[in-house]
Structure 1
Amino acid sequence: MLKVLIVDDTQEKIIEIRRVLTGFVDEPDDVPICGSIRDALKACSNTRYDLVILDLFIPYKAGEDPNPTNAQSFLKLIKEDDDYICPVFVIGITRAQDLTEYKSFFEAETMQVLYYADNDDTWKGQLNNRLNYLTGVKRKLGITYEYDYDVAIINALQTPEHEIMKETLGTEWKEVNLDDDKTTTYYATVLKGDGGENIKCVSCYASQMASIASAALTTKMILRFHPRYLFMTGICAGLKGNNIGFGDVLVASQVWDGMSGKFKELNKEDADPEMIFEPDYRQITLDADMQNIINRLKDKKELLAQIKDGFSGAKPDTPLNIHVGPMTSVPAVIASEKKIADLKAHARKLIGIEMESYGVFYAAEQAHRLRPKYTISIKSASDLADKDKTDIYQPYASYTSAAIMKYIIENELEFDNH
């Protein structure tokens, strides 16, 4: 969708322009209107617009007489003054047929001028063509200056993680069909914040587990939907010795690739030399603001009890808790105490092992243009990384991770574009 500013002081014309904008902007009635050049400059001081539709015969400030030199001054200022954010394109629009001098100025700046007439819709077709062009360019280049979606949610598995996540959020999800991406199915919904604001969410699941698949999916999500916040929910293995119970929520304060490093032979002269692994852990850290939110939620025992009571399937007798600490992503399921001990040797406070979060964090950190403000991995313990692994608590763990995420989205995050 395009971000458009209308600079015009004629209500009749504004209504007609907004009608043409239908389908190119989120809500035509919400497109900002400036009735003077001064107001337009103020709007361009903190927002980058894809298109400014500028009346050529407009006052400099409210109450003054309109003058065509004002539109000319506006174009010069937004180009030359660093106090203003230059829009991608400006279209002039006017009823007057005798503004040859100012039309020539616009055309010299490669800007288009449209002649508005009550009984001639030619200008509508010309404006529609320009809107189509700008939309296509923006889509192909992935250019954006604002977040298109409030929240993106990634799961490693369709079942049970993604299906239970959608069910837990308790809203109607609709498929998002993209003509140029048939390898992933995306779903969109709208949540309500505690202030009544609409929160646009998009979700998807990977075609397979492990960090590579999740990193590729994260990159597509960011480039396509430009989310303000990025979540990964689902299941993981909690580590014994941390008072972690089945279904407990594990939030990664740091995450790294557990298999990044070098295998090295000891006693090379032996027929069967011993192999050791020298790790090269490069941690990506959870944002401090988000970590503070999670730490506060740890003490909300009534909330956690309500979340647990809200699940009707198999669940443990232990109370639901939240744990915050280091987690590592590995490319395979681990049920070996020796392998786990090797991982913990390099991170004494390790709370969990999973397969995807490092790829999600890395892709978000390396994304170009508009990155998510926060990236967070919220996974719940469906097993304790031992030989007694079972699938019985996977649905419950998928639910608790999604329920905590839902609470954070609706009650803890800021959406300053609403």
Structure 2
Amino acid sequence: MAKPSAAMSVGYSMECDVLVITALQKERDGALAETDGHKTEWVEATAQSGFPYHYCEFTDDAGEPLIVAVAWAGAMGGVAAADRCRSLVELLHPSCVAMTGICAGRRGDVFLGDVIVANRVFHYDHGKSVTTNTDTGARETQLFHEIETYNLESTWAMNAADFAVDVSSLGDLLADRPVSLDSQRMWLLRTLLAQEAEGGDPAESHAEQGARCPRWSEVVTSLERRDHVTLKAGVLKLSRDGRELALRDRVLNKTGAVPDPAFRVHVGPIAAGTNVIQDAEIFNQLKKIQRKVLGLEMESAAIGYVAANAGIPAIIVKAVADYADGDKDDSFHEFASRASFAFLIAFLKKHPPGSLRSTGATPRPVPAAAVSARHANKLRNAAKDWAEQYESTIEPGWATRPQNVDFYDSDKDLTALRQHFEKLNDDYLRWRGLNSAVRDVPTLPYAMIGGSGDKPQTPDGEALVRERNEVVRGIVFQLMKIHTQSSITGECESCRTKNRTVVRQKQQGGAGSQNWQAGRDIRFHGGSGERRN
């Protein structure tokens, strides 16, 4: 797994394009293990709730930054997933939410390791449960379903159907796909048949054994349990039932034991329930509710619910790890976790959340203002310069020296950046407030602790200093994102109008001039129009 950089502490705030929630820790670890296409390393941060999350920057196919955050829900089930997702949506303001990881798949329609992109998700066990007594006195329970579906955005649904045909986006990952136990068992039965009936090479020393039956001990043990082979005095032989299976397969597949089918990506419904299911008939039951259900798990509908209430799109991508029956094959868990995340990132690089805005599928505004090309270049350069300025103000956790606020307030380039980027201005004002509060923190002289700066006397004081530093890190992150973005284009009448208004206020010496200098009257424009803080 890629090693994340040092953790950010509580209170750190940023924005991301994609928030990915996983139900299991190993699913999150599988996501973090995918390093293909990263522009930056994974960074670990801690939300106010105390839960960690990771983020990094990818680059989409148009060359634009794609900021992705990944978090583990902390527990299985829809409640934990919804709670974690909701709190991070409020903290990170993502353009879309996603879920990756493992699911059960419908045997015969999908194969182990295959990816399923959900075109709709729903709770299959919500509704009214009614229990009655039959004529024989037996109690019979029936569930009257109340189905509410959360659908993939129609544009993304069409894109996913086209994108699913080409799996080359997963690159070398497909080479890590395990060989299924079913395939390994049949290869061993066929090889033992050839050995016993035709004098073929012994199975345990066969040239293909490493590739076709890599989990030798597990396969032999499972065939013994099924009474398909016997192992006595160190000799492995077919049982009568095992011989019949091998003979049948030889008739049906004359060229040899059939290997696993090629990896595929499917688009179809995924059902969510409240319990882990081990029932070979579960998908036949689900057909009564949704005829073409391909996947089954526990959390996807909760993620769809949170996204719908937040007014942002959701995309659920899961990979098949088992068939929800008693024949478990845990070897696919790691591959499925990685494959689902790798496909999600490849898809969003080609069809980023911003593509939905351009088609009117979602009303979320573009955060950057529209300015002239010359002004855009000036903003980018200023953003880089100010990122370096702010980075130099981050002190050790025990230092309390406040910065010179007047120096920052008087700079026209920083004021222009704050005019155009609302989140940057909000964090700037938050930094100013924290910087002022630091002045009142009681400290010990540096000579008593042997270092430069003063040490807060209380844990609350030290926490305040750390919070200020985290806000600074957030400002640096935003400034560097502004520096690299290329979507600040077009003419901006609002800029010129605003500048003339400010000049008049200064000439008149009114309250507007004082408020402007104090950083409390910044106006914003862009996709969402103007507003005054």
TM-score between the two structures when normalised by the length of structure 1: 0.59
Question: What is the correspondence of 1:323-402 to structure 2 with a 5 Å cutoff?
Answer: 323-367=266-310, 371-372=311-312, 374-402=313-341
Which residue of 2 is the match for residue 224 of structure 1?
91
Which residue of 2 is the match for residue 257 of structure 1?
123
Structure 1 155/384 Cα, relative in aligned 2: closer, same or farther at 3 Å?
same
Q: Residue 303 of structure 1: CA displacement?
A: 3.8
Structure 1 307/236 Cα, relative in aligned 2: closer, same or farther at 3 Å?
farther
In 2, the alpha carbon distance for the partners of 1:259 and 1:409 equals: 31
Q: Residue 197 of structure 1: CA displacement?
A: 2.0
Query: Whose radius of gyration is greater, 1 or 2?
Result: 2
Which residue of 2 is the match for residue 149 of structure 1?
16
Aligned-partner SS, 2:95:
strand
Structure 1 345/241 Cα, relative in aligned 2: closer, same or farther at 3 Å?
farther
Question: What is the correspondence of 1:172-187 to structure 2 with a 5 Å cutoff?
Answer: 172-178=41-47, 180-182=48-50, 184-187=51-54
Specify which structure has the higher proportion of strand: 1
- Residues 133-171 of structure 1: CA deviation (Å, up to 9, x unaligned): xxxxxx9xx9xxxx9211111111111x11111111444
Which residue of 2 is the match for residue 300 of structure 1?
166
Structure 1 359/158 Cα, relative in aligned 2: closer, same or farther at 3 Å?
same
Larger RCO, structure (CA 8 Å, separation 6 or more): 2
CA contact (8 A) 1:148 1:225 kept: yes
Q: Residue 269 of structure 1: CA displacement?
A: 7.0
Aligned AA for 1:291? A
Aligned-partner SS, 2:331:
coil
After alignment, is 263-272 or 292-301 more displaced? 263-272
Q: Residue 270 of structure 1: CA displacement?
A: 5.5
Structure 1 382/175 Cα, relative in aligned 2: closer, same or farther at 3 Å?
same
Which residue of 2 is the match for residue 188 of structure 1?
55
Aligned AA for 1:181? S
Which residue of 2 is the match for residue 164 of structure 1?
30
Which residue of 2 is the match for residue 409 of structure 1?
348
CA contact (8 A) 2:96 2:353 kept: no
- Residues 3-28 of structure 1: CA deviation (Å, up to 9, x unaligned): xxxxxxxxxxxxxxxxxxxxxxxxxx
Aligned AA for 1:177? T
Structure 1 314/339 Cα, relative in aligned 2: closer, same or farther at 3 Å?
closer
In 2, the alpha carbon distance for the partners of 1:375 and 1:414 equals: 10
* Alignment gaps of 5+ in structure 2: 1-10, 181-259, 355-365, 369-484, 486-533
Aligned AA for 2:45? V
In 1, the alpha carbon distance for the partners of 2:53 and 2:32 equals: 12
1:314 aligned onto 2:195: no
Q: Residue 326 of structure 1: CA displacement?
A: 1.3
- Residues 201-255 of structure 1: CA deviation (Å, up to 9, x unaligned): 211001111111111111111111010121100000011232x111101111111
Specify which structure has the higher proportion of helix: 2
CA contact (8 A) 1:308 1:320 kept: no
Aligned AA for 2:343? I
Structure 1 236/390 Cα, relative in aligned 2: closer, same or farther at 3 Å?
same
Percentage of pairs with the same residue: 27
Structure 1 235/308 Cα, relative in aligned 2: closer, same or farther at 3 Å?
same
Aligned AA for 2:123? D
Question: What is the correspondence of 1:4-19 to structure 2 with a 5 Å cutoff?
Answer: none
In 2, the alpha carbon distance for the partners of 1:327 and 1:313 equals: 22
In 2, the alpha carbon distance for the partners of 1:413 and 1:315 equals: 33
- Residues 50-98 of structure 1: CA deviation (Å, up to 9, x unaligned): xxxxxxxxxxxxxxxxxxxxxxxxxxxxxxxxxxxxxxxxxxxxxxxxx
Aligned AA for 1:148? E
Give 1:207's match in structure 2, choosing from 49, 53, 74: 74
Q: Residue 195 of structure 1: CA displacement?
A: 2.6
Q: Residue 258 of structure 1: CA displacement?
A: 1.4
Which residue of 2 is the match for residue 49 of structure 1?
none
Q: Residue 313 of structure 1: CA displacement?
A: 5.8
In 2, the alpha carbon distance for the partners of 1:348 and 1:214 equals: 26
In 1, the alpha carbon distance for the partners of 2:72 and 2:158 equals: 28
In 1, the alpha carbon distance for the partners of 2:317 and 2:348 equals: 12
In 2, the alpha carbon distance for the partners of 1:404 and 1:266 equals: 47
Aligned-partner SS, 2:176:
coil
- Residues 343-363 of structure 1: CA deviation (Å, up to 9, x unaligned): 221111111101100000001
CA contact (8 A) 1:247 1:315 kept: no
Structure 1 169/331 Cα, relative in aligned 2: closer, same or farther at 3 Å?
farther
Aligned AA for 1:345? K
Aligned-partner SS, 1:168:
coil
Structure 1 312/302 Cα, relative in aligned 2: closer, same or farther at 3 Å?
closer
* Alignment gaps of 5+ in structure 1: 1-138
